[in-house]
């Protein structure tokens, strides 16, 4: 389906902004595929390491460096890297597509050589063209520019826009006769993608610089190109050091000096504040915001803030925190850190345009599968540990202005989990109070491969090791080494493990399991672990689970699903606990954007009271729950 003429004209105007004149071993053209990277011909740019002149349309000239070349007439491609200049608006980039029609209409935008007035100007040259297949018939060898179109010297390296698809599909290479209208040839983008991993990456996942191109093209035409409409920015932070000072490395660029927890405090006081942050169960909103601002200064120094500001051009931003899982810093509640949106301090772990995740090393990343289940329903195994006699010793809830509420029975907890999971293409099988041998059998390889294992129970440090509670077969808890359970989950073939800890009995005090211990669950296919940093109340995990599984069933990657679930907990402000959202922690391996199911249509969840879990019907959201305002200017707070 051909694009409207108006859209094509708007793309040609934008194509000019994406073009540049390139002066290397000869003078030619080029076009940006990212805000700092442009494609041209090798016979224009020269060899790897060569310095070339780059003059982007409407901007000041600058220097560039040739980073990759595919030499020879059969190749004749080059990549040039150049840095944006200060105080410039962001450089837009084109969108690439490998498809070339048998016949079609095209537009090349570049700088033809001017021998008379002595000044080269930019032109949009329109022509008809057709594809030439390679001898094996499996690929397009060339976009042939038909006779009747004049391709002159200086257009080499120009991008070729397809009026059919609305994407740049080729690079002008040569003219049959520079002095006559005898057409010429252009190199297919498919050949450039086969040659350069970076071009292939930009082709399959358009960068933020192509967002303007996306918006002009429109949703329908963009999706016909096979590209996802939502664009995601990403910021990777490598944090090292200790609780007094540390280094923050941004995408491999180390800051000039360590970033301190608080520059105007002594080391001793800074350390005391961090110890308080990790061990004190803060609930009051003012205290939680104060702690969030302290943590914000820790991970968002100025150079990180600038990168985040740039990344916020995307529809969503993924913030990945990388720290050794056995370090002190891995245990800090970074989820409580705040940022400023429109001058309002908001927690980074609840903003739906963002997603915050801790990244640990997966020992065998090649075993990880991030692609969704494409047919059938994805199995979920629910494991609920709460012996009936134990319920009498569990804490009661004191919601503000509401009657005291007893801890729900295990069957009520199971019903709430079933309500959360059984939506869309997810299907729950639940086992209650399993013994060690029963859980091991349920997770045996080959019995059934559950995509998700969801544990609700109790956890503690016992004899210096993390332990999870199972049933002893006689009505009480039996503590099982957490690493044994992690091993069973890994062997089962599951990809996601969810662990939610209940508050301990009122007459016992369990030492909490630190986040770093859960990194041990990343093994085999398991690439993500969601867990509660501190034990929580069932009302809190019910709200989290409903939002989590709704997002998973809609095909959202696990990072986005967890972010939405934390936001839901924050909005409900359950039991007056302003920090509850921050205790739901996500760790993934190096692989990201893991989906459990695809984004196929999901049936709406029923909302009648008779199908809601009783523990959810019995409560109402707090009248003073925070409201999320539209996202705006980003700042660290």
- The string of pLDDT tens digits covering residues 470-501 is 999 999 999 999 999 999 999 999 999 999 99
Q: Is 49 left (phi over 0), alpha (psi -120 to 50) or beta?
A: left
- Mean pLDDT for 113-125 is 73
DSSP state of 597: B
How many whole angstroms separate alpha carbon 12 and alpha carbon 31? Answer: 13
Residue labelled with tokens 């968002």: 300
What is the CATH number assigned to the segment(s) 373-621? Answer: 3.40.50
Q: Could you tell me the pLDDT band of residue 51, with boundaries at 50, 70 and 90? A: very high
How many whole angstroms separate alpha carbon 552 and alpha carbon 395? Answer: 31
Per-residue model confidence (pLDDT) at position 130: 87
How many whole angstroms separate alpha carbon 463 and alpha carbon 572? Answer: 37
How many whole angstroms separate alpha carbon 489 and alpha carbon 455? Answer: 11
Residue labelled with tokens 């199971």: 414
Range with lowest mean pLDDT among 40-49, 125-134, 353-362, 616-625: 616-625
Per-residue model confidence (pLDDT) at position 273: 56
Q: Could you tell me the pLDDT band of residue 629, with boundaries at 50, 70 and 90? A: very low
- Residues 1-24: tens digit of each pLDDT: 678 999 999 999 999 999 999 999
How many whole angstroms separate alpha carbon 473 and alpha carbon 479? Answer: 12
Per-residue model confidence (pLDDT) at position 234: 87
Q: What is the rounded radius of gyration, in angstroms, for the C-alpha atoms of the chain?
A: 29
Q: Could you tell me the pLDDT band of residue 332, with boundaries at 50, 70 and 90? A: confident
Per-residue model confidence (pLDDT) at position 401: 67
The pTM score is 0.77
How many whole angstroms separate alpha carbon 476 and alpha carbon 391? Answer: 11
* Chain CA centroid to CA 384, Å: 31
Q: Residue ranges per domain, the chain?
A: 5-224, 232-359, 373-621
Per-residue model confidence (pLDDT) at position 295: 83
How many whole angstroms separate alpha carbon 543 and alpha carbon 568? Answer: 7
* 230 or 77: which leads in pLDDT: 77
Tokens of 605: 């969840």
Tell me if 535 sits within 8 A of 501, measured CB to CB. yes
Q: What percentage of the chain reaches a pLDDT higher than 70?
A: 84
Per-residue model confidence (pLDDT) at position 624: 31
Identify which of 100-104, 584-588, 618-622 has the greatest average pLDDT.
584-588
- At 65, phi and psi to the nearest 5? -125, 135
Tell me if 127 sits within 8 A of 238, measured CB to CB. no
* 148 or 619: which leads in pLDDT: 148
- Quote the mean pLDDT of the chain: 85
Tell me if 143 sits within 8 A of 100, measured CB to CB. yes
Coil, strand or helix at 509 = coil
Closest CA to 235 of 317, 172, 336, 337: 317
Pairing of strands 316-322, 528-532: unpaired
Identify which of 41-45, 114-118, 281-285, 301-305 has the greatest average pLDDT.
41-45
Per-residue model confidence (pLDDT) at position 95: 97
Per-residue model confidence (pLDDT) at position 597: 93
Range with lowest mean pLDDT among 302-316, 415-429, 610-624: 610-624
Q: Is the pLDDT of residue 610 over 80?
A: no
> What's the CATH fold of domain 5-224?
Thrombin, subunit H (2.40.10)
- Mean pLDDT for 178-190 is 74
Q: Could you tell me the pLDDT band of residue 383, with boundaries at 50, 70 and 90? A: very high
Q: Could you tell me the pLDDT band of residue 402, with boundaries at 50, 70 and 90? A: low
* 149 or 619: which leads in pLDDT: 149
Q: What percentage of the chain reaches a pLDDT higher than 90?
A: 58
Closest CA to 225 of 37, 95, 372, 48: 95
Q: Is the pLDDT of residue 184 over 50?
A: yes
Q: Is 507 left (phi over 0), alpha (psi -120 to 50) or beta?
A: alpha
**H/E element holding 538?**
helix 538-553
How many whole angstroms separate alpha carbon 168 and alpha carbon 188? Answer: 9
Q: Could you tell me the pLDDT band of residue 614, with boundaries at 50, 70 and 90? A: very low
Residue labelled with tokens 């705040």: 338
DSSP state of 35: S
Per-residue model confidence (pLDDT) at position 630: 30
Q: Could you tell me the pLDDT band of residue 420, with boundaries at 50, 70 and 90? A: very high
């Amino acid at each position: 389906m051909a694009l409207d003429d108006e859209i094509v004209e708007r793309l040609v105007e934008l194509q000019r902004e994406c073009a540049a004149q390139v002066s290397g071993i000869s003078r030619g053209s080029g076009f940006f595929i990212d805000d700092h990277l442009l494609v041209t011909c090798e016979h224009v740019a020269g060899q790897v390491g060569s310095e070339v002149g780059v003059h982007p349309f409407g901007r000041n000239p600058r220097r560039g460096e040739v980073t990759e070349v595919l030499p020879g007439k059969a190749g004749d491609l080059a990549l040039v890297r150049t840095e944006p200049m200060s105080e410039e608006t962001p450089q837009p980039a084109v969108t690439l597509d490998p498809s070339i029609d048998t016949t079609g209409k095209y537009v090349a935008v570049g700088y033809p050589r001017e021998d008379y007035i002595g000044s080269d100007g930019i032109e949009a040259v329109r022509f008809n063209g057709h594809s030439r297949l390679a001898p094996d018939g499996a690929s397009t060898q060339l976009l042939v520019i038909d006779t009747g179109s004049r391709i002159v010297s200086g257009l080499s390296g120009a991008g070729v826009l397809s009026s059919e698809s609305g994407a740049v599909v080729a690079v002008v290479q040569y003219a049959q006769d520079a002095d006559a209208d005898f057409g010429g040839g252009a190199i297919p983008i498919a050949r450039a993608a086969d040659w350069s991993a970076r071009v292939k990456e930009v082709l399959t996942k358009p960068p933020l610089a192509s967002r303007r191109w996306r918006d002009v093209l429109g949703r329908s035409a963009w999706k016909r190109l096979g590209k996802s409409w939502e664009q995601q920015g990403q910021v990777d932070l490598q944090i090292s050091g200790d609780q007094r000072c540390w280094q923050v490395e941004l995408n491999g660029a180390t800051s000039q000096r360590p970033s301190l927890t608080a520059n105007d405090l002594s080391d001793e006081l800074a350390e005391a504040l961090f110890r308080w942050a990790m061990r004190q169960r803060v609930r009051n909103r003012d205290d939680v915001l104060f702690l969030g601002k302290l943590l914000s200064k820790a991970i968002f120094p100025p150079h990180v803030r600038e990168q985040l500001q740039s990344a916020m051009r995307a529809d969503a931003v993924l913030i990945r925190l990388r720290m050794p899982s056995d370090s002190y810093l891995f245990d800090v509640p970074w989820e409580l850190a705040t940022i400023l949106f429109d001058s309002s301090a908001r927690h980074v772990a609840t903003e739906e345009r963002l997603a915050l995740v801790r990244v640990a090393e997966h020992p065998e990343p090649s075993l990880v599968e991030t692609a969704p289940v494409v047919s059938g329903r994805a199995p979920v195994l629910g494991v609920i540990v709460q012996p009936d006699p134990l319920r009498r010793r569990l804490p009661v809830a004191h919601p503000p202005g509401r009657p005291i509420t007893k801890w729900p029975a295990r069957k009520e907890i199971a019903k709430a989990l079933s309500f959360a999971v059984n939506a869309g293409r997810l299907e729950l099988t639940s086992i209650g109070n399993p013994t060690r041998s029963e859980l091991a059998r349920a997770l045996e390889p080959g019995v059934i491969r559950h995509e998700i294992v969801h544990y609700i129970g109790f956890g503690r440090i016992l004899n210096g090791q993390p332990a999870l509670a199972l049933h002893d077969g006689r009505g009480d808890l039996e503590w099982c080494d957490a690493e044994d359970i992690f091993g069973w989950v890994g062997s089962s073939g599951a990809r996601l493990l969810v662990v939610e800890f209940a508050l301990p009995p009122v007459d016992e005090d369990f030492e909490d399991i630190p986040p770093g211990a859960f990194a041990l669950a990343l093994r085999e296919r398991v690439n993500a672990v969601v867990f509660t940093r501190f034990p929580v109340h069932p009302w809190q995990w019910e709200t989290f689970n409903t939002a989590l599984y709704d997002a998973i069933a809609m095909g959202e990657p696990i990072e986005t699903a967890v972010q939405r679930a934390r936001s839901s907990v924050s909005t409900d402000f359950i039991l007056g606990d302003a920090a509850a959202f921050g205790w739901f922690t996500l760790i993934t391996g190096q692989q990201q954007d893991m989906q459990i199911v695809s984004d196929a249509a999901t049936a709406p969840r029923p909302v009648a009271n008779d199908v809601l879990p009783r523990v959810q019907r019995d409560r109402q959201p707090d009248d003073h729950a925070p409201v999320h305002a539209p996202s705006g200017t980003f700042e660290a707070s």
